């Protein structure tokens, strides 16, 4: 026996409905949702976190006054503390500074108009030398880009 859904004809109001009534299903789902929300236990446990405490006697680290600056101008000339040098001399200066008992900080400052290739080559030389204390100077001028 097949179920047929016929369009109601004029005057025929007893045709079967072809759509399922979803209102009771939605009502049951909402009641279950409210029951689950009510029965969830309130999370009252706390997680203890050990925050660092400020020591009573603050020991300042010794200030390293030796700082070397490597700058690259717009023409691609490398400068060591203001004096123009080539890349071979730069590698020698880096090796000499790493032989010191305390490694001095190396400040790197490329000109915004310097070619990327030149900046990349100098950074590769610095990395190959093994410099661990390095900072970039003048990055705030690139913040507007």
Convert the pLDDT of each residue in 66-120 to its tens digit: 788 999 999 999 999 888 999 999 999 998 888 888 888 899 999 988 999 999 9
Least confident segment among 7-16, 57-66, 78-87, 127-136: 57-66
User: Is the whole model's pTM more than 0.95, yes or no?
Assistant: no
Which of 33, 32, 97, 30 lies closest to 68, judged by CA?
97
Tokens describing residue 32: 């279950």
For the chain, give every domain's residue range.
67-138
Question: Would you state the pLDDT for residue 6?
Answer: 54
CA distance 1 to 43: 57
Characterize the bridge pairing of strands 134-136 and 83-85: unpaired
Q: Which fold has domain 67-138?
A: Nucleotidyltransferase; domain 5 (3.30.420)
- In the chain, the N- to C-terminal Cα span, in Å, equals 75
Q: Which residues pair with 70 in a beta bridge?
A: 80, 108
Task: Determine contact, residues 56/93, Cβ cutoff 8 Å.
Answer: no
Which residue's entry shows tokens 């690139």? 142
Residue 27: per-residue pLDDT: 92
Distance of CA 60 to the CA centre of its chain: 30
Look at 24 and 66; give whichever has higher pLDDT: 24
């Amino acid at each position: 026996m097949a179920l047929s859904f016929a369009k109601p004809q004029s005057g025929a109001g007893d045709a079967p409905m072809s759509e399922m009534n979803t209102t009771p299903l939605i009502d049951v789902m909402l009641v279950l949702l409210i029951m689950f929300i009510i029965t969830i236990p309130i999370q009252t446990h706390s997680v203890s976190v050990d925050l660092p405490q400020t020591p009573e006697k603050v020991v300042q680290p010794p200030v390293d006054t030796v700082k070397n600056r490597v700058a690259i101008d717009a023409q691609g000339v490398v400068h060591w503390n203001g004096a123009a040098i080539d890349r071979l001399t730069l590698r020698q200066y880096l090796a000499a500074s790493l032989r010191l008992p305390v490694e001095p900080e190396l400040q790197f400052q490329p000109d915004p108009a310097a070619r990327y290739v030149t900046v990349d080559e100098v950074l590769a030389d610095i990395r190959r030398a093994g410099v661990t204390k390095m900072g970039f100077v003048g990055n705030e001028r690139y913040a507007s880009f």
